[in-house]
Structure 1
Amino acid sequence: MLKLQMYINGNWVDSKMNEMSEVINPANGEVIAEAVVGDVEDTRKAIEAARVAFDSGVWSDLPAAERADYLFKIADKLEQNAMELSRIESSNTGKPYREAEFDIADAVNCFRYHAGLVTKPNGQTYPVSDPVQALVVREPIGVCGLIAPWNFPLLTGAWKIAPALAAGNTIIFKPSGVTPITTVKLFEIMEEVGIPKGVANLVMGGGSTVGNEIAESDKVDMISFTGSTATGRSIMTNASGNIKNISLELGGKSPNIVFADADLETAIDYALNGIFMNAGQVCNAGSRLLLEESIHDEFVNKLVEKAQAIRVGPGNQDSTEMGALVSESHMNKVLSYIQAGIEEGAKLACGGKRITENGLEKGYFIEPTIFVDTTPDMKIVQEEIFGPVLVVQKFKNEAEAIQLANDTPYGLAAGVFSQDGAKALRTIKKVRAGITWVNAYNLAYNEAPWGGYKQSGIGRGLGTFGLEEFTEVKQININLQVEPTNWFGDQE
């Protein structure tokens, strides 16, 4: 049995509690690893190690090019082990191997992108009226607590670790206890390439213990969290003690708007991808499909036909197009939302049940599910389900499409499909969301910022914006005329 330990101050360690948690393959319910469960004491040791490492300058004082070299080496080793990591990610998350393979490749690119970015010019100078050279530089924030979700374990880890380290910070990383395996493998790689001890620390454990301690600690200068909006609120409260920098990428209930003049085959293809990739367990999932009335019936009929043909199964089967949900408890949560939709009067166009046939009875599989005849006040329309459940809404015109699109507390992502470029741009500009597409959905790039409006979060990851999240801005003014001002001297 694979045993996963924590990595604190350059050492692989067990928890002081001597407690372990089981890591499950959601495709069959089998235990594939045991992970150490850390507590407050373990977390404090990791924080102290990161604090000492940062204050010593062992990492932050390195030239940017040297830090970049470490990141390039990490990327190379991830790439060398991509097949094994993809296999592990698939078995731990339940997602198809082809999706896991894409995640690992994107993580590799993320480390390389930030390694290259950190050596590029990032300061400013200002012409001022006095004989002064005024300039701005960016410096590392300090000790960063990074808390990642379970749906894209290695990829979201890379999205946080790469820019944090590139900028010169030290880190305490908390993965999800549900999907920690590839994160441990990443830290093994960081140890192999020689990251100085104390710079990168890994603590596993519950959010109420490890997560809260990281958020509350006065020795932590920043929190970067990806997860639910409810947990994000808690982190904001706990982080207020020492006014930490906060970056939060939270929930979504993202609209995918299709006008009658859209290329329907393309829109259907992206609608499927937007909700059924990773079994809908995606923060930016296009979970609300807004259709112009005149195409509603035709679009839904074609969409349902294709959704029912999706091949659901274990991630390690080549034929699988949609895998299992990550855990039994999460599967039951999604099923409870489906039941709520039925009770509220929405109509199931397809799906709605757990799959227990063809050898899938031990796994956590749900049929691709589509609801029609929904109303904006329904729970399934307003709340994030985080599963393979699509709700369809109708609109009469552009104004109503925009109104419906903005009618939730979230603002993470949105898509618009139309062959009228002016209309598509008008619409997307009025939708309150941070990640948007026109005639596409679900595309993501390391070069572009990632984050949302409203209750979908604060700050941005990726791109130049993501690197800046892990820096402080310092103003430096250099007096070029070194002589007394006589401000308080003789006024004659």
Structure 2
Amino acid sequence: MEGPISNECFDVINPANGEVVSKAAAGHEGDTQEAIEASYAAFQDWAATPATKRAEILIRIYQLMLERQKELAQTISLEMGKPLKQAMGEVKNAADYVLWNAEEGKRIYGKTMQASEENKRLKVIQQPVGPVGAITPWNFPLAMVTRKLSPALAAGCTVVLKPAEQTPGSAVQFFKLAEEAGIPKGVLNLVTGNPAKIGDALLSDKRIRKIAFTGSTAVGKHLLKNAAEQVKRVSMELGGHAPLIVFEDADLEQAVTNILRAKFFNSGQTCISPNRIYVQESVKEEFLTLFKEKVEGLKVGNGLEDDVDLGPVVNKAGLEKAIEHVEDAVRNGANLIYGGNECKVTGCENGYFYSPTILSDVDEAMLISHQETFGPVASIFTFDDELEVVNKANNTDYGLAAYIFTQNLSRSVRVSEGLEYGMVGINDTVLAQVQGPFGGMKESGMGREGGPDGLADFLETKFISTII
């Protein structure tokens, strides 16, 4: 791997202790242009490579990822604080996307149609869209990379990747594994550094035919607006503000166990984390008692230590946002049931730790009800009837993920179909699965990653009519 044109680097910081983990290349427009040129030059040969050959390379990458699982997980934990056992799970999930898309790449089908004239032959083929610019976030620094790169590669596209500046390490390691697996020169290109300059270079160059992005809705809108200048294809997984509804007929033990896993996984720093937990009034007290008991057992600490459930939030801004949301809620009438304070972890005095927190009696006037906290704060709302809560759940510009807990089959069908979200979990909070399409409605994005149509966003449909 080559260094940046500027020969400059930036520090990568461990949020658990404030120490410098590593240094990364500070790339900018010139480096991005070189990467685009390499990607463009390699595209025709890679597109013409048989799908089985592309799959063989991807499967080898999958195998190498599993062999280096612990090393990759340690890098994730060091750079963004994720507990090691969760980081190990992320590596496995990231590898599964590589394997899934390797197999799907061998199933890119065309069609033939009956023509209206006997000397005509009609067919449709699928071809790779072209070089792709991929931009990934810090909260799942490896899984987001493979969810974009593996379908692009399987479809026959070349890629220029810009990973989050907070977490470049696991992307660098992935590229080394890809090289070891035999990926041809120029097919994969990595640029780390200034996000605005790199992103603008990808957007302005006509040789990049598609942008694949995961991140905030505000940045997504900027990318979409600029991509429109060239009618450049885009797929985007943007912000979320997930509702989770607990009906009075729910199995509360099941609901609390699942909420605990979803809300505090990665210290609440996931786009599908339940931000608004609606509990039916008749079971509110029972729910809160059980939920508090579970939350009290969570351990906060350095993600590299054993048995840690919550690591730090990613940076000072993330910590300040959690503090602001909790203080605003309490000031405006919410009840602090548990937590609500910064944590001091021995040996990590400079870390950005916030205690797992429960707020009850939250209402729509509070910041936390309409802004994504991205921290370990569970906000409990109450409701009386089904129609009321569905309307409240849908009253947002976001539409990524939603959750329902009920034992009533008819209700589960009605509510899941009535919720304006791209993904709905019924008595389940694990939605990021390779077999299913991941993505949202409204301002939560466009396009889907994973599932049986995961390669569709990287393919063009071409109709061919032939007179013989």
For the aligned pair, the TM-score class normalised by the smaller chain equals over 0.9
Query: Which of 24, 30, 33 matches 2:22?
Result: 33
Separation in 2, partners of 1:330, 1:195: 37
> What is the identity, as a one-letter code, of the residue corresponding to 1:19?
E
Separation in 1, partners of 2:200, 2:70: 35
Which residue does 1:281 correspond to in 2? 269
User: Would you say 1:15 and 2:10 are equivalent positions?
Assistant: no
TM-score computed with the length of structure 1 as normaliser: 0.92
Instruction: Give the Å deviation of 1:363.
Output: 1.3
Separation in 1, partners of 2:48, 2:269: 40
Which residue does 1:258 correspond to in 2? 246
User: Would you say 1:136 and 2:124 are equivalent positions?
Assistant: yes
Which residue does 2:401 correspond to in 1? 413
Which residue does 2:81 correspond to in 1? 94
Separation in 2, partners of 1:174, 1:344: 41
Separation in 2, partners of 1:411, 1:214: 27
Query: Which of 33, 38, 46 matches 2:35?
Result: 46
Q: What are structure 2's unaligned runs of at least 5 residues? A: none
Query: Which of 296, 319, 333 matches 2:284?
Result: 296
TM-score computed with the length of structure 2 as normaliser: 0.97
Which residue does 1:488 correspond to in 2? none
Which residue does 1:122 correspond to in 2? 109
Separation in 2, partners of 1:188, 1:258: 45
User: Would you say 1:168 and 2:149 are equivalent positions?
Assistant: no
Q: Any conservation in 1 of the 2:165–2:195 contact (CA below 8 Å)?
A: no
Secondary structure of the residue aligned to 1:60 is: helix
Q: Structure 1's 270 and 229: CA in aligned 2 closer, same or farther, altered over 3 A?
A: same
Separation in 2, partners of 1:333, 1:290: 22
Matches within 5 A, 1:77-476: 77-131=64-118, 132-476=120-464
Separation in 2, partners of 1:87, 1:232: 30
Instruction: Give the Å deviation of 1:127.
Output: 3.2
**Greater shift after overlay, 409-418 or 439-448?**
439-448
Instruction: Give the Å deviation of 1:378.
Output: 2.2
Q: Structure 1's 116 and 239: CA in aligned 2 closer, same or farther, altered over 3 A?
A: same
Q: Any conservation in 2 of the 1:58–1:196 contact (CA below 8 Å)?
A: no
Separation in 2, partners of 1:217, 1:27: 38
**Paired residue total:** 467
> What is the identity, as a one-letter code, of the residue corresponding to 1:44?
Q
Please give the per-residue CA displacement for 1:431-481, whole angstroms capped at 9, x wherever unaligned: 0011111111123211110000111001111123221111111112233xx
Which residue does 1:4 correspond to in 2? none
Secondary structure of the residue aligned to 1:465 is: coil
**Greater shift after overlay, 142-151 or 308-317?**
308-317
Which residue does 1:9 correspond to in 2? none
Q: CA RMSD in A?
A: 1.4
Instruction: Give the Å deviation of 1:346.
Output: 2.4
> What is the identity, as a one-letter code, of the residue corresponding to 2:82?
K
**Greater shift after overlay, 206-215 or 181-190?**
206-215
**Greater shift after overlay, 433-442 or 208-217?**
208-217
Q: What are structure 1's unaligned runs of at least 5 residues? A: 1-11, 483-492
Q: Computing the radius of gyration over CA atoms, which structure comes out larger, 1 or 2? A: 1
> What is the identity, as a one-letter code, of the residue corresponding to 2:207?
K
Separation in 2, partners of 1:129, 1:236: 40
Separation in 1, partners of 2:53, 2:141: 27
Matches within 5 A, 1:474-489: 474-479=462-467, 482=468
Sequence identity (%):
38
Q: Any conservation in 2 of the 1:274–1:287 contact (CA below 8 Å)?
A: no
Separation in 1, partners of 2:362, 2:94: 38
Separation in 1, partners of 2:345, 2:72: 29
Please give the per-residue CA displacement for 1:191-220, whole angstroms capped at 9, x wherever unaligned: 112211111100011221111211222221
Instruction: Give the Å deviation of 1:274.
Output: 1.6
Q: Any conservation in 2 of the 1:284–1:442 contact (CA below 8 Å)?
A: no
Instruction: Give the Å deviation of 1:288.
Output: 1.0
